[in-house]
Structure formats: C-alpha cells, structure tokens
Structure 1
Amino acid sequence: MEVLWLAEGLASLAVAGVLLTAVFAHITAAKLPKLHRHEDEKFFLSAEDKKQPVPSIHDPPTRELSVVVPSYNEEERLPSMMDEALDYLEKRQKQDPAFTYEVIVVNDGSKDHTTKVALKYTKKYGSDKVRVLPLVKNRGKGGAVRMGVFISRGKKILMADADGATKFEDIEKVEKGLESLQPWPNQMAIACGSRAHLEKDSIAQRSYFRTLLMYGFHFLVWFLCVREIRDTQCGFKLLTREAASRTFSVLHIERWAFDVELLYIAQCLKIPIAEVAVNWTEIEGSKLVPFWSWLQMGRDLLFIRLRYLTGAWKLETRKDN
C-alpha cells in the first residue's frame, strides 16, 4: 500500500511539474521578435560606400536563387566559403544565362572585419550579385538568417553557413530533393541537407561527453518537436520563396535551435520536407560551445513544444514583415 501511495505521489508531482512548467512558459513566453529594423539595417552596403535600400520577400521574385549567409566574426572562414560558392554560381550562370543569383552576407553584429571581407566580393562581383547587410547588434544565427530571408529576391532561398562545411556544389542535391516533392502544395517545400549518414564516423572522433550531449539533443528533438528529420541542425537548407515567407514570418527562436522551430512550423503547416545527404567537413572555429549551447538549445526545445501547445505562440502570419 505504501508503495502505491508513493507511486501516486510521484505521479502527482510529475503532473504538477508539467503543469507548472506549462504555466511558466505561458506567462514568460517571448513575443514574436520584432522586425522593426534599425535605420542602418534598411540598406545594403557597397564597396563604393553607397547604400541601397533592401527589398522585401513579399515583392515578386527577380532572381532564381538567393543564398543567405549568416556571419558572426567570420573574417577568417568566410573567404574560402565565398570563393567556393561564387566560383560555382558563376560557372553555372555561364552554362545557363537564364540562371540568376544573389549572395546575401548578413553580418550579425560582428566585432571583427567580417563586413570588410564581404565587401571585397561586392567589389569583385558587383553589388547586384553580392550584397552585405550589417546588423547593428548580434541577433543570433536564427535572427540573422531571418533578416536575410526577408530581403531576398530569389524564387528559391538557400541557407548556407559561413564556414563552408558543406560543399556548395551539393546545392544540386538539395535542388533534386526539392524537385522530388513536386507538385508543391501552395508552392511550399523545403529540402534539408543532412549529415545523418556521417554520424558513425563523427562519433568515433568525438569525446564520450560530446557524444552523450548529441544523443540527448537528438532525443529531445525527436520527443518534443520533429520526428521525421534525422538531422535538423545542418545549416544547408533550400526553401521555396513561399515556404520561407510562411515559416520565417512566425519564427520565434533566434539562436541555435531555430532550425528545429523552423521544421516544427513546417510540419504543423504540412509543408513537405525532403532530407538529403550532403558532404560535410568539420571546420575549426565553431561558435558552438558544447555544454552551454546544448543547454540553451534544450531549454529552447522545451519552450517550442510548450508554447505552441499552450497557445502562447501561434502560427499566424505577421502583418508587419
């Protein structure tokens, strides 16, 4: 009998804990991040020190592809990524003159010379192909990508990390993944680059602690938010313009876990998603601090689930973006 009482007591405590957490999440739920830009964030920079007003994702597309590159203190790693990406894009354009593109480097409040490095490519390729958006303060990777998405001109929008960990030519793989989802309902579809096929090799090179953190994070993602995608965190994702507009309009998380919320939103909206294996190499200089970053991401995963579950966050399109 005492065992039964103890079990009931523990169950009651667990339920109470969940309810208290839900109430806490509801009360402290962050509002949808404001899109109001600082005056300096309403213009692209150019090598000639001229400012160009930014467009809107709600305008008709005028390019085939937009590449959004979030960059925070990336003066050392950005050049190799940009060289590889622009070499590929220029060759593709020569082979197919109808193919048009833009690369948007979003400087996320860097304290180094990231903007100066990016502007060298604007000077070399022209401000119509390489555009630099400086953010006045650091928003986080998700916030930087979001700002870049909302000023994109492409029919398709690619998220690509500044470290160049994924071979840029693998865009052809995610493009095929996107095509495999056709016909796109409401013109919305997403193709995610994935490193899941490399997991065994990466585990062999990681410490036991980091491997434990990785598995813990994967479990939380699967249990709380996204079950159909094995690798939610690969920074190589291709979205149709409509899918990008719809999902980023309701995105709340601006740090590392924004990918999970993005895919959670897509699943809720029944946007088809393809997961595509891509080449990936770990590049030194990662901004991810293993323990604290994972802790923050775990907290954000819990908030994503509870805040949507309690109605604190809603899938309503913004009217001011």
Structure 2
Amino acid sequence: MVDNDSADSTLDVPGRFADAPVSVHTIGCSDHDEGVAVRRGIATSRARFVGFVDADNATPIETLDSAMALLRDGHAAVIASRRAPGAHYDIEQSAPRRCGGWVFRRLTLPGIADTQCGFKFFDGPLVRGILGDCHVDGFAFDVELLARMMRDGHDVVEVPVAWSDVPGLTFSAVRHGLRSVADLVRISLSRW
C-alpha cells in the first residue's frame, strides 16, 4: 500500500490484514500525484503480477479472477472496460464524467475502448521494465503506461465489467483538466 501523506485512516489498513495469506505493508510517497504513488507501488513490488484498482469498488473485485487468468495465459496487461462487448453500467456516470471519458478516448490509444476504468493489472517484470520511461504524474499516468506497452509490441486486453459510478471523484475538470489534456497530447505525440 502506498501512502502519499493521507489524512484519513489509510495507515490503519495494513493492521486489518495481519493474518492474511499475503502480507500487506505500507511504503511512503510524499508526492501527491496519483501517477507517482502508483508507479512507486509497482516499482517496489516483486510480484509476478501487479496492478491497481480504485478503492471505491466501482469495478467489482471479482473482475480480478478473469484478469489473473488472462495474465497467466501470457497477456501483458489486462484492464477493465466499461465499453468492451458485454460491459454495462449498474449505475451510470454523470454527463460531465462521460464527456471527460470521451476526451480521453479521442486523444489516446487506438484500439482501446476505455482507458479510464480504474482497474489495471500487468505482468510484473514487464511493467517494471517499462516504468523508467514513464514521466506523467497526473491522472493520465496510466494512459502513458499503456501507450508505452503497446508501442513496445505488448498486448492490452480489455475485460467487460458491470461498473457502478461512485460519488467522490478526486478528478476536477477545473483543477486537472488542462494538465490532463496536455499530458494526453504529449503521450499521443511520443507514441510515434
């Protein structure tokens, strides 16, 4: 678990898993950008498979079963998708969030229907080798990671999900929008 100066009870979480079959520990990250924290967690891990999921449970955790099966079959990355065939919304997103998703889809990765569903898992050694080339720290960090994987010829598989919108989004179009669009343009240009 990566703690980037949380002000809530995040630091209490590992104690709840003291008897779990997989140990849970905390590493610090003083940078408040999401991309920095996630990259630090992935880089610190030595696991065969590594990934991240939004803590709001918008993507059902059962999606992990199909993701792990695909990774074991040799796929480089498995991401949840609200737009893959068979996916649906249990609770629909607001119009502004749908609009923001449309912008991300238009400016990013051809062939990927949904880059912003907060559930992405990877072949651990492969993704750790790619992290050194990643520099986007904000909300588009995962788009850059996927773009670099695809540029290097690795596959990204989308799995359909029954997704639920959950209030409390930390992304703000006013605070983060311009930076995110600039990051997306930079990612798009660097792919070629």
TM band (smaller chain): 0.7 to 0.9
Question: Which structure 2 residues correspond to residues 130-209 of structure 1 after superposition, within 5 A?
Answer: 130-135=24-29, 137-180=30-73, 182=74, 189-196=76-83, 197-198=87-88, 202=92, 206-207=94-95, 209=96
Q: 2 CA distance for matches of 1:213 and 1:274?
A: 22
Q: Which amino acid aligns with 2:28?
A: P
Q: Of 137, 143, 158, which aligns to 1:254? A: 137
Q: 1 CA distance for matches of 2:165 and 2:112?
A: 21
Kept in 2, the 8 Å contact 1:170–1:279? The answer is no
Q: 2 CA distance for matches of 1:173 and 1:126?
A: 22
Q: Normalization by structure 1: what TM-score?
A: 0.53
Q: Normalization by structure 2: what TM-score?
A: 0.85
1:107 maps onto 2:3 in alignment: yes
**Post-superposition shift, 1:214?**
3.0
Residue 23 of structure 2 corresponds to: 129
Q: 2 CA distance for matches of 1:200 and 1:107?
A: 30
Kept in 2, the 8 Å contact 1:150–1:245? The answer is yes
Residue 218 of structure 1 corresponds to: 105
Residue 34 of structure 1 corresponds to: none
Kept in 1, the 8 Å contact 2:89–2:163? The answer is no
Cα shift readout 1:239-280 (whole Å, capped 9, x = no counterpart): 112222122121111110011101110111101211111232
1:120 maps onto 2:10 in alignment: no
**Post-superposition shift, 1:164?**
2.2
Q: 1 CA distance for matches of 2:22 and 2:62?
A: 22
Kept in 2, the 8 Å contact 1:177–1:276? The answer is no
Cα shift readout 1:21-62 (whole Å, capped 9, x = no counterpart): xxxxxxxxxxxxxxxxxxxxxxxxxxxxxxxxxxxxxxxxxx
Report the number of matched residues. Answer: 189
1:284 maps onto 2:177 in alignment: no
Change (3 A) 1:177 1:146: same
**Post-superposition shift, 1:113?**
3.1
Q: Who wins on radius of gyration, i.e. which is larger? A: 1
Q: Which amino acid aligns with 1:108?
A: N
Q: 1 CA distance for matches of 2:136 and 2:15?
A: 31
Higher relative contact order (CA 8 A, sep 6+): 2
**Post-superposition shift, 1:191?**
1.0
Kept in 1, the 8 Å contact 2:3–2:28? The answer is yes
The structure that is helix-richer by fraction is 1
**Post-superposition shift, 1:305?**
2.9
Q: 1 CA distance for matches of 2:98 and 2:128?
A: 35
Task: Show structure 2 runs of 5+ residues with no match.
Answer: none
Give the RMSD, CA atoms, in angstroms. Answer: 2.5
